[in-house]
Structure 1
Amino acid sequence: MNSVIKNIIYSFLLIVSAFNITTVEAGFVPYGRIFKAVKDERPYITQAQDSRTQLQLHKKILLNYPESMTGVSSYVYLGHGFLVGEVENDAERAGLVECAKSITDLNGVSYFLPQKKSSDNSTPSELEIKLKGMLEPNYPSSKLTVKVVQDTVIIIGVLDDQEQESALKTVQEISGSSKIINFLQVPQQQKMQRQKRHPLRNFFSN
């Protein structure tokens, strides 16, 4: 009888332990990523495609130009590739652009890759840190990326017209006289609405 009771208690403890483990594992959720995905204007499938393509681009650069990884950042938004950072010479710049162009899933490549200055370092500038601190509460990195290269502010991401106006105004106010390169894109749905042409019959309506 005692052995039966012991077996029941032991089984109960195993069940409780298993339940606790399952609960902990199921409770481990990347809230930041979920928040970014919800805030992102891109469809989930587009976000996944962009992430996969960005990984391909990153890998391509790592294999062909590993020395560039510390000074050049790569991004993909809406199937468009972006390269931002500093290079040693024109040959490195051309090689990096060719690496990006060789990714078949990219529909285009934009870049800002000035030649490195001897006095510069690869750590984020105070201006870049300040800009990110002001923008990230409203625009997570999945929607908007800000880089500062040689006193030039580069803005990359996907924002609607109103968000772009607000973000650019914030950047201009904080950066002051710094040059700004705007690589922002509008969401796909908004793009489609802009590009939508009226039916031919509209041209012949009375």
Structure 2
Amino acid sequence: MDAATVEQWFTRADGSYLCARWGRPLSPVVFGVEDATLSLVKGAFEAVCALTGHKMAQTDPELGANVMVFFLRDWADLRTVPDLDRLIEGLDGMVTRLQDAGANQYRLFHFDAQGAIRAAFVFLRMDAALDAMAAEDLALAQVVQVMLLWSDSAFADRSPLGQLGDGRVVLRPEIAALLRAAYDPVLPDVARDPSHALRLAARMG
């Protein structure tokens, strides 16, 4: 992947470049699934953190949990989650927009004063398309998408996952390499200059 291609992964709809990674260990919590699926989701977090060298923690000292993953059948269910409106400003309007768009997933990020990711919310409305995915594949795809602040359209028409000849689904090697590069300790948690893509590409070789 050359620098120009890397740059596209983090170029916003308005043409600006922004790549942000987590500035603290991940402390995920999952709602709306059985224990078997819960272990698969947490396993996906552990696998991607092992890949990138980023850390996980039992709790976040400020927030308790800083990654919240919600599995639901109807967007309206979010309105019944206790205290969620205290964490997400404009929750009611967000739910209405998701209903109107017929969306089946949505991710929302919070950032610290420097611009690094400090919290993420993942909402998955389990429609026919998401139900058709294996739970471990769905979990891995979602974890990849919360590890970095990707461009608005990064995975709109291409999945971060690929299929091997034997049918196994794995993280695409170029995405794995990009994740590893983005978490190089030498690089900043937040970059707004496109020259950052050059540094990422150099580390992917």
Pairwise TM-score range, normalised by the shorter structure: under 0.3
Higher helix fraction (1 or 2): 1
TM-score (norm 1): 0.27
Highest RCO, 1 vs 2 (Cα 8 Å, sep ≥ 6): 2
TM score, norm. by length of structure 2: 0.27
Larger Rg: 1
